[in-house]
Amino acid sequence: MKKLAVIAFGGNAILRNNEEGTIEQQELNAAETIENLVYLIKDGYELVITHGNGPQVGNILMRNDAGAQLYDIPPMPLDICVADSQGGIGYMIERILRNILNKHGIKKNVITMVTLVEVDKNDPAFENPSKRIGKVYSKQEAEDLAAKHKWVFKSSTKEMNSFRRVVPSPVPLEIINKETIQNLAENGNIVIASGGGGIPVYRDENNDLRTVDGVIDKDMASSLLATNINADEFYVLTDVPFIYKDFGLPTQEKLEFLNYADTVKYLEDDTFAEGTMRPKILACLDFIKNGGEKSVITEAKKLEDRSYGSKITMEYE
């Protein structure tokens, strides 16, 4: 019986540290990652792919600034910039994936879907913007932009007189078009969706969708998507093959098989780094809590090995 899996591409799947971010580099990285999905496809999995967009949407915002300053081009709001990145990255993944399927003689349709994600307009995150986006500004530039656009800025901890815009990161509640995504995937199509966590929207008193300035954590949105479409398994592809206890310390230990309770205990003991592995593990736990069979955290090249990665498999009680 075929299984449905959501595959969340980590940042290094498309753009890696110390790279300029040229399209050639991004395409090469994407191809290396996508090649490994063939092992799952040949095992009979139906796939939905998600991806990050942090560096790319930051570049779009900087182009926004340059166009406004040099050519008086009206800047686009954040939701349009996120949509731009979803379309551009999704197109790149789709084209490369189609070529790799062709190379392996696999006949499957691939579709990219710009994805809206519902949030609560009263989410506490809107009172405490924390997600840094876009370029670095001087204090005076930040003050001028804050006055003009009502943006919020926070200083950088690394450099003096450097400020970046911060926006809210609300909790995702529901993936818009989840039924369509599930139907397409269960009927043999590979769907690329929820790029960059999706575009946050809320419903007004008339049930119309309205936009907000904010971004959604891509791992949490991917986990929610996996739950919403009744996926059997949820994979987070990152730059390490396993979860490690006390990563980088002399006491480092590989954690290959985990259950829900033990993983929660590790989190409570601050075993995992706050800004790197911890959000991924929380996303995996949410999937299991909501009925998923298995969550896996690993690097793409390990998918060839059926004993790959760290697995969280215990059902929530």
Active site positions, annotated: 11-12, 131, 218, 280
Lookup result for tokens 């736990």: 285
Contact partners, residue 252, CB within 8 Å, separation at least 6: 244, 245, 246
CB of 48 within 8 A of CB of 188?
no
Contact partners, residue 129, CB within 8 Å, separation at least 6: 152, 166, 167, 168, 214
Q: Which sign, positive or negative, has the C-alpha torsion 277, 285, 53, 191?
A: positive
Closest C-alpha among 272, 211, 204 to residue 243: 272
Amino acid at 192: I
CB of 178 within 8 A of CB of 228?
yes
Strand ranges of the sheet holding 46-50, from the earlier edge strand across to the other edge: 110-112, 190-192, 46-50, 4-9, 233-237, 294-298, 310-312, 257-258
